[in-house]
Structure 1
Amino acid sequence: MSDYHFPVPASSPVTPAAPKAETAAFRSRADDTYALLKRDIAEFRLLPGDRFTEGEVSERLGVSRTPVRQALFRLQQEGFVEVLFRAGWRVLPFDFDEFEQLYDLRLVLETTAVARLCEDAPRVDHARLQALAAIWLVPVEARSTDTAQVSGWDEEFHCELVAAAGNGPMTRVHRDITDRIRIIRRLDFTQQPRITATYDEHAQILHAILARRGKQAALLLRSHIETSQAEVRKITLHQVYLARQGGRT
């Protein structure tokens, strides 16, 4: 139905589980399928508009259609795919209005977290901040040039800032937002200059936080996020196709 090809697992197809472990095995297969499909959407192996069937997923992963269907229903509920009447499934097009709103909410959460970090609130996790410093406060020659690696580190940088503030519900909401905007954010890292800018900006934010300069840290963080948000507005489907081609090389 599309030119998308699901990666074939290295192991042999899943064999029937023992009766006592049947429920757990089914959940595992459904969870694994869900994670794979979600990753493929985030990494541009599945593009907005791509169509596929449950049979294609089932055959290539060596699992039955039941866990495949459960995985797809989860992705449907999260707004990643939709079911087509008698025509399989389709990856939903980008909803740029939703991305704008999610970026606005992300900005509120992260600036609130930074304010708490600079106030040194009782629940602040200083170990998380030191772990971030070990990645981002390094000499230029020690910086990673791996776009995929830096993209992942960038995502964790922002998640760890919020987590370090010590508010569990806020951290969970922020993680959910991060999950929703992942595919868009990763388009930021298709060019080397973006890596350099990310290192520089993250370092400035961290220095301000560690020095407890709250207003400066919030302003730097706001500028950093708004720059990324502005790039989202420039994204075209052509860029997404180029990103997928780059992921195949």
Structure 2
Amino acid sequence: MAKLPITTRRSINLLLEHAANHLKVGDAMPTEMQMTQIVNSSRTAVRSALAHMVEHGLIAGMKQRHLLRRPRPDDYFDVTELHSATEQLQQVLMERIYERDLPPGAEFTEVELSRAAGVSTIAVREFLIGFSRNGLIEKTPRGSWRLCAFDSKFAQELGEAREMFELRAIERIATLAPDHPAFARLADLLARHEALGKEPAESHAEFPALDREFHSFLISLLDNRFAENLNEAVSMVYHYHYQWDKRDELPRNQYAVQEHVAILRPLVGGDLPAAMAAMRRHLHSSRSTMLNALHARESSMPQA
């Protein structure tokens, strides 16, 4: 099973701490809005944490959130698991891109990223050198780093590689035993996507985190280091380009949620051909959206 995102692990620890300090067995967990305040994160992170608590017998279910037992020491994630330098750096870099602090072409220093992520400059340098192989960042002559714009050819090549790995992941699911833990995770992802699909458009701003979790889980089923390395680039690129045009972000997210549901329902129901067809449609749609954004940006740039 895929390793839980760092935000989910932190949220689990904070909810466990709240339950240990404020609840008795049989009491209900706080409301979803209250829990987002407790963990200081999104509803997506809260729901992922609740799903983990259900899986480990701490609460009765995603709707019936009554505490079944007191948290034990082994329920908590070790502090060292919450501070992976690579995860911290990826998260900080992605967040700064999402918040538009680092638009394409912006420069940043290793010290700047080190302070923001709370890791050493040595860890930052190693991370940036490794990540630069994807062609998304580059070292400048002044010793800082620059976020690179990428062209349609780069996007097309990445989309083709992504399709190869993710369709293979769908095929891998067909080989799993019926009681494999992956099916419980797929059912949970389906329930969360369906719940998000019923919420107002504004709530779909939370979709990128769920999108990364969905695709990362599929890739993890391959247990392939090359696929996982590619997924890091895909995760960044397929959200990175939205920096350039956020005018249709919410409708785009709403549409993508339904595309995910169209993949997850047949996966949970055991219909591999339908899942494969839905995945092909989703990857084609996602790649087309990115290429259109790139073309729009290129056409709007002033001519030299």
TM over 0.5: yes
Q: Secondary structure at the match of 2:195?
A: coil
State percent identity of aligned pairs: 25
State which of 208, 213, 217 in structure 1 corresponds to 2:275: 217
Corresponding residue for residue 164 of structure 2: 108
Q: Does 1:125 align with 2:192?
A: no
Q: CA deviation at 1:218?
A: 0.8
Q: Secondary structure at the match of 1:182?
A: helix
Structure 2 residues not aligned, in runs of 5+: 1-79, 299-304
* Count of equivalent residues: 210
In structure 1, what residue type is equivalent to 2:290? V
Q: Does 1:196 align with 2:196?
A: no
* TM-score where L is the length of structure 2: 0.55
* TM-score where L is the length of structure 1: 0.65
Corresponding residue for residue 198 of structure 2: 141
Aligned-pair RMSD on alpha carbons?
Answer: 3.8
Structure 1 residues not aligned, in runs of 5+: 1-23, 241-249
C-alpha deviations, 1:169-224, integer Å up to 9, x for none? 2xx44433232123442229752222221222222222222222222211111011
Separation (CA, whole Å) in 1 of partners of 2:89 and 2:196: 40
Separation (CA, whole Å) in 2 of partners of 1:209 and 1:62: 39
Identify the structure with bigger relative contact order (alpha carbons < 8 Å, sequence gap 6+).
1
CA contact 2:193–2:260 (8 Å) conserved in 1: yes
Q: CA deviation at 1:47?
A: 2.2
- The change in CA–CA distance for 1:128 and 1:40 in structure 2 (over 3 A counts) is same
- The change in CA–CA distance for 1:55 and 1:206 in structure 2 (over 3 A counts) is closer
- The change in CA–CA distance for 1:42 and 1:75 in structure 2 (over 3 A counts) is farther
Q: Secondary structure at the match of 1:46?
A: coil
State which of 154, 165, 185 in structure 1 corresponds to 2:211: 154
- The change in CA–CA distance for 1:215 and 1:46 in structure 2 (over 3 A counts) is same
Separation (CA, whole Å) in 1 of partners of 2:191 and 2:272: 21
Q: CA deviation at 1:102?
A: 1.9
In structure 1, what residue type is equivalent to 2:189? L
- The change in CA–CA distance for 1:148 and 1:177 in structure 2 (over 3 A counts) is farther
Q: Secondary structure at the match of 1:154?
A: helix
Q: Does 1:178 align with 2:231?
A: yes
In structure 2, what residue type is equivalent to 1:155? R
State which of 219, 233, 237 in structure 1 corresponds to 2:291: 233
Q: Secondary structure at the match of 1:137?
A: helix
CA contact 1:82–1:89 (8 Å) conserved in 2: yes
Separation (CA, whole Å) in 2 of partners of 1:34 and 1:140: 27
Moved more, 101-110 or 219-228: 101-110
Q: CA deviation at 1:76?
A: 3.1
Separation (CA, whole Å) in 1 of partners of 2:84 and 2:189: 32
C-alpha deviations, 1:134-190, integer Å up to 9, x for none? 212338534673344111112222222344xx4312xx4443323212344222975
